[in-house]
Amino acid sequence: MYVAVKGGELAIENAHALLAQVRRGDLSVPEIGLDQISEQLTLAVDRVMSEGSLYDRELAALAIKQARGDLIEAIFLVRAYRTTLSRFGTSAPIDTAAMDIRRRISATFKDLPGGQVLGPTFDYTHRLLDHALAGPSASPQSKSAVVEFDRSDGGENKEGLPRVTDLLVNDDLIEPSPTSEGPARDLTREPLSFPAGRDVRLQNLARGDEGFLLALGYSTQRGYGRTHPFAGEIRFGEVEVEMFAEDVGFAVPLGRVAVTECQSINQFRGSATEAPRFTRGYGLAFGQGERKAMAMALVDRALRASELGEEIKAPAQDEEFVLSHSDNVQATGFVEHLKLPHYVDFQSELGLVRRLRKAFAAPLPSPACQGLQAGGATEAAE
Protein backbone atom coordinates (compact mmCIF):
# COMPACT_ATOMS: atom_id res chain seq x y z
CA MET A 1 0.00 0.00 0.00
CA TYR A 2 1.13 3.50 -0.70
CA VAL A 3 2.22 5.65 2.21
CA ALA A 4 3.07 9.33 2.00
CA VAL A 5 6.72 9.72 1.03
CA LYS A 6 8.95 10.34 4.01
CA GLY A 7 12.66 10.37 4.54
CA GLY A 8 13.75 13.38 2.51
CA GLU A 9 16.16 14.31 5.28
CA LEU A 10 18.01 11.01 5.27
CA ALA A 11 18.10 10.94 1.47
CA ILE A 12 19.73 14.37 1.42
CA GLU A 13 22.33 13.34 4.00
CA ASN A 14 23.20 10.24 2.03
CA ALA A 15 23.45 12.19 -1.20
CA HIS A 16 25.86 14.62 0.42
CA ALA A 17 27.98 11.77 1.77
CA LEU A 18 28.13 10.28 -1.71
CA LEU A 19 29.08 13.64 -3.14
CA ALA A 20 31.98 13.94 -0.70
CA GLN A 21 33.11 10.50 -1.76
CA VAL A 22 33.11 11.14 -5.49
CA ARG A 23 34.70 14.52 -4.95
CA ARG A 24 37.69 12.81 -3.39
CA GLY A 25 37.74 10.08 -6.04
CA ASP A 26 40.23 7.21 -5.92
CA LEU A 27 41.92 7.30 -2.51
CA SER A 28 45.14 5.93 -3.97
CA VAL A 29 45.53 9.17 -5.91
CA PRO A 30 46.96 12.00 -3.79
CA GLU A 31 44.48 14.68 -2.84
CA ILE A 32 44.78 17.91 -4.78
CA GLY A 33 45.96 20.91 -2.77
CA LEU A 34 44.69 24.46 -2.96
CA ASP A 35 48.21 25.62 -3.82
CA GLN A 36 48.23 23.22 -6.77
CA ILE A 37 44.95 24.61 -8.01
CA SER A 38 45.92 28.24 -7.59
CA GLU A 39 49.36 27.69 -9.13
CA GLN A 40 48.54 25.27 -11.93
CA LEU A 41 44.91 25.92 -12.79
CA THR A 42 45.43 29.68 -12.75
CA LEU A 43 42.95 30.52 -15.46
CA ALA A 44 40.19 28.57 -13.74
CA VAL A 45 40.97 30.51 -10.57
CA ASP A 46 40.94 33.77 -12.54
CA ARG A 47 37.52 33.04 -13.99
CA VAL A 48 36.03 32.12 -10.63
CA MET A 49 37.40 35.33 -9.10
CA SER A 50 36.07 37.40 -12.00
CA GLU A 51 32.55 36.08 -12.18
CA GLY A 52 32.46 35.47 -8.45
CA SER A 53 33.34 39.18 -8.01
CA LEU A 54 35.86 38.40 -5.29
CA TYR A 55 39.60 38.74 -5.65
CA ASP A 56 40.95 35.95 -3.50
CA ARG A 57 42.97 33.20 -5.13
CA GLU A 58 42.87 30.91 -2.14
CA LEU A 59 39.09 31.05 -1.73
CA ALA A 60 38.61 30.59 -5.46
CA ALA A 61 40.88 27.54 -5.36
CA LEU A 62 38.91 26.16 -2.44
CA ALA A 63 35.68 26.71 -4.33
CA ILE A 64 37.03 24.93 -7.39
CA LYS A 65 38.10 21.98 -5.28
CA GLN A 66 34.78 21.84 -3.46
CA ALA A 67 32.87 22.15 -6.74
CA ARG A 68 34.77 19.24 -8.31
CA GLY A 69 36.03 21.57 -11.00
CA ASP A 70 32.59 22.83 -12.00
CA LEU A 71 33.43 26.50 -12.43
CA ILE A 72 29.87 27.83 -12.33
CA GLU A 73 29.31 25.94 -9.08
CA ALA A 74 32.59 27.39 -7.80
CA ILE A 75 31.51 30.90 -8.80
CA PHE A 76 28.27 30.31 -6.91
CA LEU A 77 30.18 29.26 -3.78
CA VAL A 78 32.34 32.37 -3.94
CA ARG A 79 29.34 34.65 -4.51
CA ALA A 80 27.42 33.16 -1.59
CA TYR A 81 30.44 33.81 0.61
CA ARG A 82 31.10 37.28 -0.77
CA THR A 83 27.58 38.45 -0.07
CA THR A 84 28.13 37.94 3.66
CA LEU A 85 31.20 40.18 3.80
CA SER A 86 30.69 43.64 5.20
CA ARG A 87 31.61 46.61 3.03
CA PHE A 88 33.93 49.06 4.66
CA GLY A 89 34.45 51.38 1.74
CA THR A 90 34.98 51.88 -1.94
CA SER A 91 38.42 51.85 -3.50
CA ALA A 92 39.68 54.56 -5.77
CA PRO A 93 39.43 53.68 -9.48
CA ILE A 94 42.38 51.56 -10.53
CA ASP A 95 44.73 53.15 -13.01
CA THR A 96 45.38 50.64 -15.75
CA ALA A 97 47.76 53.05 -17.47
CA ALA A 98 50.08 52.52 -14.51
CA MET A 99 49.79 48.75 -14.84
CA ASP A 100 52.81 46.59 -14.25
CA ILE A 101 52.51 45.05 -17.72
CA ARG A 102 52.93 41.32 -18.29
CA ARG A 103 51.22 41.33 -21.64
CA ARG A 104 50.11 44.14 -23.89
CA ILE A 105 49.10 43.97 -27.49
CA SER A 106 47.44 46.29 -29.91
CA ALA A 107 45.91 45.20 -33.19
CA THR A 108 45.56 48.75 -34.45
CA PHE A 109 49.19 49.89 -34.50
CA LYS A 110 52.24 47.99 -35.62
CA ASP A 111 54.34 49.65 -33.01
CA LEU A 112 53.58 52.08 -30.30
CA PRO A 113 55.23 53.55 -27.21
CA GLY A 114 56.16 50.66 -24.95
CA GLY A 115 55.93 48.16 -27.79
CA GLN A 116 53.96 44.98 -28.12
CA VAL A 117 54.50 42.54 -25.26
CA LEU A 118 53.30 39.02 -25.94
CA GLY A 119 53.74 37.67 -22.42
CA PRO A 120 52.28 34.31 -21.41
CA THR A 121 49.72 33.46 -24.08
CA PHE A 122 48.19 30.52 -25.90
CA ASP A 123 48.26 32.63 -29.05
CA TYR A 124 50.52 31.16 -31.72
CA THR A 125 50.88 27.87 -29.88
CA HIS A 126 50.06 24.91 -32.07
CA ARG A 127 47.24 23.10 -30.42
CA LEU A 128 48.97 19.76 -30.38
CA LEU A 129 48.52 17.65 -27.29
CA ASP A 130 51.83 17.67 -25.49
CA HIS A 131 52.25 14.11 -24.34
CA ALA A 132 55.35 15.11 -22.43
CA LEU A 133 53.00 16.81 -19.97
CA ALA A 134 51.25 13.53 -19.23
CA GLY A 135 53.98 12.42 -16.90
CA PRO A 136 55.66 14.51 -14.26
CA SER A 137 57.08 17.27 -16.41
CA ALA A 138 60.72 18.00 -16.35
CA SER A 139 60.95 21.34 -14.63
CA PRO A 140 60.33 23.92 -17.31
CA GLN A 141 62.88 26.46 -18.21
CA SER A 142 64.06 27.99 -15.05
CA LYS A 143 63.10 31.57 -14.54
CA SER A 144 66.49 32.85 -15.48
CA ALA A 145 66.35 31.07 -18.81
CA VAL A 146 63.18 32.87 -19.80
CA VAL A 147 63.97 36.19 -21.29
CA GLU A 148 62.09 38.46 -18.98
CA PHE A 149 60.62 41.64 -20.19
CA ASP A 150 63.18 44.07 -18.95
CA ARG A 151 61.25 46.40 -16.76
CA SER A 152 64.15 48.76 -16.20
CA ASP A 153 64.63 49.25 -19.92
CA GLY A 154 64.18 52.91 -20.62
CA GLY A 155 62.27 53.25 -17.39
CA GLU A 156 59.03 53.79 -19.27
CA ASN A 157 57.31 50.75 -17.87
CA LYS A 158 57.90 51.94 -14.35
CA GLU A 159 55.64 54.84 -15.16
CA GLY A 160 53.28 52.49 -16.93
CA LEU A 161 52.51 52.34 -20.60
CA PRO A 162 50.12 54.82 -22.17
CA ARG A 163 46.90 53.25 -23.38
CA VAL A 164 46.37 53.16 -27.11
CA THR A 165 43.05 54.90 -26.75
CA ASP A 166 44.79 57.72 -24.87
CA LEU A 167 47.08 58.22 -27.86
CA LEU A 168 44.11 58.55 -30.18
CA VAL A 169 42.11 60.82 -27.95
CA ASN A 170 44.67 63.56 -28.35
CA ASP A 171 43.62 63.98 -31.98
CA ASP A 172 39.95 63.78 -31.07
CA LEU A 173 39.76 60.76 -33.36
CA ILE A 174 38.10 58.74 -30.62
CA GLU A 175 35.53 59.80 -28.08
CA PRO A 176 36.98 60.68 -24.68
CA SER A 177 36.67 58.12 -21.94
CA PRO A 178 33.42 58.92 -20.15
CA THR A 179 33.93 60.41 -16.73
CA SER A 180 32.00 58.95 -13.84
CA GLU A 181 29.24 60.94 -12.25
CA GLY A 182 29.07 60.29 -8.55
CA PRO A 183 29.75 56.97 -6.88
CA ALA A 184 29.23 53.86 -8.97
CA ARG A 185 26.09 51.91 -8.17
CA ASP A 186 26.45 48.36 -6.92
CA LEU A 187 24.29 45.65 -8.45
CA THR A 188 24.86 43.40 -5.47
CA ARG A 189 23.32 46.02 -3.17
CA GLU A 190 20.57 47.41 -5.37
CA PRO A 191 18.19 45.70 -7.76
CA LEU A 192 18.82 46.08 -11.46
CA SER A 193 16.52 48.59 -13.12
CA PHE A 194 16.22 49.89 -16.64
CA PRO A 195 17.55 51.87 -18.34
CA ALA A 196 20.79 50.90 -16.62
CA GLY A 197 23.69 53.34 -16.45
CA ARG A 198 27.12 52.56 -17.79
CA ASP A 199 28.42 51.70 -14.31
CA VAL A 200 25.69 49.11 -13.79
CA ARG A 201 26.11 47.74 -17.29
CA LEU A 202 29.84 47.24 -16.87
CA GLN A 203 29.44 45.64 -13.45
CA ASN A 204 26.79 43.33 -14.84
CA LEU A 205 29.00 42.32 -17.77
CA ALA A 206 32.07 41.89 -15.56
CA ARG A 207 30.09 39.44 -13.43
CA GLY A 208 28.44 37.94 -16.50
CA ASP A 209 29.00 34.47 -17.85
CA GLU A 210 31.98 34.22 -20.16
CA GLY A 211 30.20 31.84 -22.51
CA PHE A 212 27.12 34.03 -22.77
CA LEU A 213 29.15 37.16 -23.50
CA LEU A 214 31.33 35.25 -25.93
CA ALA A 215 28.32 34.13 -27.93
CA LEU A 216 26.76 37.60 -27.88
CA GLY A 217 30.03 39.27 -28.89
CA TYR A 218 30.42 36.71 -31.63
CA SER A 219 26.91 37.43 -32.88
CA THR A 220 27.79 41.11 -33.34
CA GLN A 221 30.73 40.08 -35.50
CA ARG A 222 28.44 38.01 -37.67
CA GLY A 223 26.11 40.88 -38.38
CA TYR A 224 23.62 40.86 -35.52
CA GLY A 225 24.29 44.41 -34.42
CA ARG A 226 27.59 44.94 -36.13
CA THR A 227 29.94 47.46 -34.48
CA HIS A 228 33.07 47.23 -36.66
CA PRO A 229 35.46 46.52 -33.81
CA PHE A 230 39.22 46.63 -33.61
CA ALA A 231 41.15 45.30 -30.65
CA GLY A 232 42.62 48.68 -29.79
CA GLU A 233 44.48 47.24 -26.89
CA ILE A 234 44.53 44.28 -24.59
CA ARG A 235 46.70 44.49 -21.52
CA PHE A 236 47.25 42.16 -18.62
CA GLY A 237 49.23 42.81 -15.48
CA GLU A 238 49.07 43.98 -11.92
CA VAL A 239 47.66 47.26 -10.71
CA GLU A 240 47.66 48.89 -7.33
CA VAL A 241 44.36 49.18 -5.47
CA GLU A 242 44.08 52.27 -3.34
CA MET A 243 41.50 53.62 -0.98
CA PHE A 244 41.06 57.18 0.10
CA ALA A 245 41.50 57.34 3.85
CA GLU A 246 39.58 60.19 5.44
CA ASP A 247 41.79 60.20 8.52
CA VAL A 248 45.05 60.81 6.76
CA GLY A 249 43.67 62.73 3.81
CA PHE A 250 45.24 60.70 1.02
CA ALA A 251 44.83 57.40 -0.77
CA VAL A 252 46.53 54.44 0.89
CA PRO A 253 47.48 51.30 -1.02
CA LEU A 254 45.51 48.17 -0.14
CA GLY A 255 47.29 45.69 -2.35
CA ARG A 256 47.70 44.62 -5.92
CA VAL A 257 45.35 42.79 -8.25
CA ALA A 258 45.99 41.27 -11.65
CA VAL A 259 43.52 42.36 -14.29
CA THR A 260 43.01 42.06 -18.03
CA GLU A 261 41.67 45.11 -19.80
CA CYS A 262 40.38 45.32 -23.34
CA GLN A 263 39.51 48.53 -25.10
CA SER A 264 37.89 48.06 -28.44
CA ILE A 265 37.86 50.78 -31.04
CA ASN A 266 34.68 50.89 -33.03
CA GLN A 267 33.41 52.83 -35.96
CA PHE A 268 30.93 55.65 -35.61
CA ARG A 269 29.82 57.35 -38.80
CA GLY A 270 28.69 60.48 -37.08
CA SER A 271 25.32 62.13 -37.07
CA ALA A 272 23.83 65.46 -38.08
CA THR A 273 25.33 67.07 -35.02
CA GLU A 274 28.47 65.01 -34.49
CA ALA A 275 31.54 64.48 -36.63
CA PRO A 276 32.53 60.91 -37.39
CA ARG A 277 34.98 59.46 -34.91
CA PHE A 278 35.82 56.23 -33.22
CA THR A 279 33.92 54.98 -30.21
CA ARG A 280 34.88 52.63 -27.42
CA GLY A 281 33.86 49.36 -25.92
CA TYR A 282 35.31 48.37 -22.57
CA GLY A 283 36.09 45.05 -20.96
CA LEU A 284 37.80 44.18 -17.69
CA ALA A 285 38.36 40.87 -15.93
CA PHE A 286 40.33 39.73 -12.90
CA GLY A 287 43.47 37.76 -13.67
CA GLN A 288 44.22 36.78 -17.22
CA GLY A 289 40.80 36.67 -18.86
CA GLU A 290 41.28 37.85 -22.40
CA ARG A 291 38.38 36.03 -23.98
CA LYS A 292 36.08 37.45 -21.33
CA ALA A 293 37.46 40.99 -21.54
CA MET A 294 37.23 41.04 -25.34
CA ALA A 295 33.72 39.65 -25.45
CA MET A 296 32.70 42.12 -22.76
CA ALA A 297 34.08 45.03 -24.79
CA LEU A 298 32.13 43.93 -27.85
CA VAL A 299 28.90 43.60 -25.90
CA ASP A 300 29.47 46.86 -24.01
CA ARG A 301 29.81 48.67 -27.32
CA ALA A 302 26.78 46.92 -28.81
CA LEU A 303 24.72 47.97 -25.79
CA ARG A 304 25.54 51.61 -26.45
CA ALA A 305 23.34 51.50 -29.55
CA SER A 306 20.61 53.76 -28.20
CA GLU A 307 23.10 56.21 -26.71
CA LEU A 308 24.77 56.54 -30.12
CA GLY A 309 21.51 56.67 -32.03
CA GLU A 310 21.99 53.33 -33.72
CA GLU A 311 19.09 51.15 -34.73
CA ILE A 312 18.41 48.43 -32.14
CA LYS A 313 17.63 45.19 -33.89
CA ALA A 314 19.93 42.50 -32.53
CA PRO A 315 19.96 40.62 -29.21
CA ALA A 316 23.38 41.97 -28.21
CA GLN A 317 22.04 45.55 -28.43
CA ASP A 318 19.05 44.84 -26.25
CA GLU A 319 19.87 46.03 -22.74
CA GLU A 320 17.04 44.24 -20.96
CA PHE A 321 17.73 41.02 -22.77
CA VAL A 322 21.49 41.02 -22.16
CA LEU A 323 21.64 42.33 -18.60
CA SER A 324 18.76 40.16 -17.40
CA HIS A 325 20.30 36.94 -18.67
CA SER A 326 24.06 37.36 -18.27
CA ASP A 327 24.40 36.04 -14.75
CA ASN A 328 25.26 32.36 -14.76
CA VAL A 329 24.48 31.84 -11.08
CA GLN A 330 20.96 33.13 -11.64
CA ALA A 331 20.62 31.23 -14.89
CA THR A 332 21.85 27.92 -13.59
CA GLY A 333 19.64 28.18 -10.51
CA PHE A 334 16.51 28.82 -12.46
CA VAL A 335 17.20 26.28 -15.20
CA GLU A 336 18.12 23.63 -12.65
CA HIS A 337 15.19 24.37 -10.38
CA LEU A 338 13.15 22.37 -12.88
CA LYS A 339 14.59 19.41 -10.97
CA LEU A 340 12.49 20.36 -7.97
CA PRO A 341 9.13 18.67 -7.59
CA HIS A 342 6.36 20.26 -9.64
CA TYR A 343 3.73 17.61 -9.15
CA VAL A 344 1.10 19.93 -7.74
CA ASP A 345 1.15 22.11 -10.84
CA PHE A 346 1.57 19.15 -13.11
CA GLN A 347 -1.52 17.62 -11.55
CA SER A 348 -3.43 20.79 -12.40
CA GLU A 349 -2.13 20.65 -15.96
CA LEU A 350 -3.04 16.98 -16.25
CA GLY A 351 -6.59 17.87 -15.30
CA LEU A 352 -6.66 20.68 -17.82
CA VAL A 353 -5.21 18.64 -20.68
CA ARG A 354 -7.63 15.82 -19.99
CA ARG A 355 -10.53 18.26 -20.14
CA LEU A 356 -9.21 19.90 -23.30
CA ARG A 357 -8.72 16.52 -24.96
CA LYS A 358 -12.24 15.57 -24.06
CA ALA A 359 -13.50 18.82 -25.59
CA PHE A 360 -11.34 18.20 -28.65
CA ALA A 361 -12.92 14.80 -29.20
CA ALA A 362 -16.39 16.28 -28.80
CA PRO A 363 -18.27 17.18 -32.00
CA LEU A 364 -18.23 20.96 -31.58
CA PRO A 365 -14.99 22.33 -32.99
CA SER A 366 -14.00 25.82 -31.98
CA PRO A 367 -12.99 27.74 -35.09
CA ALA A 368 -11.59 30.71 -33.20
CA CYS A 369 -8.47 28.96 -32.03
CA GLN A 370 -6.71 28.50 -35.31
CA GLY A 371 -3.25 29.90 -35.00
CA LEU A 372 -3.52 30.15 -31.24
CA GLN A 373 -1.81 27.79 -28.90
CA ALA A 374 -3.22 26.42 -25.72
CA GLY A 375 -1.65 29.03 -23.49
CA GLY A 376 -1.90 27.24 -20.19
CA ALA A 377 -0.60 24.01 -21.56
CA THR A 378 2.44 25.51 -23.22
CA GLU A 379 3.67 27.84 -20.52
CA ALA A 380 6.68 26.43 -18.79
CA ALA A 381 6.08 25.20 -15.30
CA GLU A 382 7.79 27.34 -12.71
Partner 1 sequence: MNVPAYNFAYLDEQTKRMIRRAILKAIAIPGYQVPFASREMPMPYGWGTGGVQVTAAIIGPDDILKVIDQGSDDTTNAVSIRTFFVKTSGIRTTTATTEATLIQTRHRIPEAPLREGQILIFQVPIPEPLRFLEPRETETRRMHALEEYGLMHVKLYEDISCHGEIATSYAYPVKVDGRYVMDPSPTPKFDNPKMNDCPALQLFGAGREKRIYAIPPYTQVTSLDFEDHPFVPYRFNGTCALCGATDSYLDEIITDDLGSRMFVCSDTDHCATRRAQGHDRSPRVGGEVPPHDPEPTP
Residues lying near partner 1 in the complex (CB under 8 A): 2-9, 11-12, 58-59, 62, 76, 79-84, 86, 188-195, 320, 324, 329-330, 332-337, 340-345, 347-352, 354-356, 358-359, 366, 368-369, 372, 374-377, 379, 381-382
26/190 with CB nearer partner 1? 190
**Min. distance of Cβ 339 from partner 1 in angstroms?**
9
21/188 with CB nearer partner 1? 188
φ/ψ bin of 25: left (φ > 0), alpha (ψ from -120 to 50), beta (otherwise): left
Beta strands in the chain (DSSP E): 100-105, 229-245, 250-266, 279-286
267/332 with CB nearer partner 1? 332
**Min. distance of Cβ 234 from partner 1 in angstroms?**
30
Rounded distance between C-alpha atoms, residue 249 and residue 130, angstroms: 54
Rounded distance between C-alpha atoms, residue 373 and residue 297, angstroms: 40
How are strands ordered across the β-sheet holding 279-286?
100-105, 229-245, 250-266, 279-286
**Min. distance of Cβ 70 from partner 1 in angstroms?**
13
161/216 with CB nearer partner 1? 216
290/319 with CB nearer partner 1? 319
114 and 104 Cβ atoms separated by less than 8 Å: yes
- In sequence order, which residues have a C-beta less than 8 Å from that of residue 137 and are 6 or more positions away? none
Beta strands in 274-338 (DSSP E): 279-286
**Min. distance of Cβ 80 from partner 1 in angstroms?**
4
267/324 with CB nearer partner 1? 324
**Min. distance of Cβ 330 from partner 1 in angstroms?**
5
**Min. distance of Cβ 63 from partner 1 in angstroms?**
12
Interior angle at CA 114, CA 108 and CA 118, nearest 5: 70
